Amino acid sequence: MKSACIYSIACAAAFSLNSCTEAPQSSGDDHGSHSAAPQLPSGKTSRPADAKLYIVSPADGAEVSSPFVVNFGLKGMGVAPAGLYLAEDKPTGHHHLLIDVDKLPDLTMPILKDEKHVHFGGGQTEGSVTLPPGKHTLQLVLGNHTHIPHDPPLISEKITITVK
């Protein structure tokens, strides 16, 4: 229930930020309310040292039938959609599932987006994965509002599964 609550707050905040950004700035008032809008941090953002990212299921070594659902676990932080930053003391991120990735991407940059680096920018906490038969690895990396891993990066253990 906790993450659902964070998510709904996140949605409301994202909506108000978007409407502010897109509003025309033609009031003619040099001291308009837009100058008071919070600046979103660019680049890496901090996260609690004891936060934990893990794959709830499937279990390491499991045998699954494709397609299958991967459940993402996150402790000590909230899940928020991409584009949303709450505050330094309310750290959030969204999940990225790395599929058969041997070498982690550059963790100082936005995580690339392709069939091996899947973004769950809607704030999802699970995802359906379709893979051919054989052994595959799965690993999670949390990204902030700009898809950049946190400081320090929050990365799950890599698991190996077999697709029947």
| Nearer residue to Cu ion within complex by CB, 25 or 128 | 128
Residues that bind Cu ion (CB under 5 A): 119, 143, 147
Nearer CB in complex with Cu ion: 122/134: 122
Shortest distance in whole angstroms from residue 79 CB to Cu ion: 12
What residues have CB less than 8 Å from 81, skipping those under 6 apart? 7, 10, 11, 14, 94, 121, 122, 123
Cα–Cα distance, 77 to 86 (Å, whole number): 12
Residue 31 CB, shortest distance to Cu ion, in Å, is: 36
Q: Between 47 and 119, whose beta carbon lies closer to Cu ion?
A: 119
**What is the smallest separation between the CB atom of 148 and Cu ion, expressed in angstroms?**
9
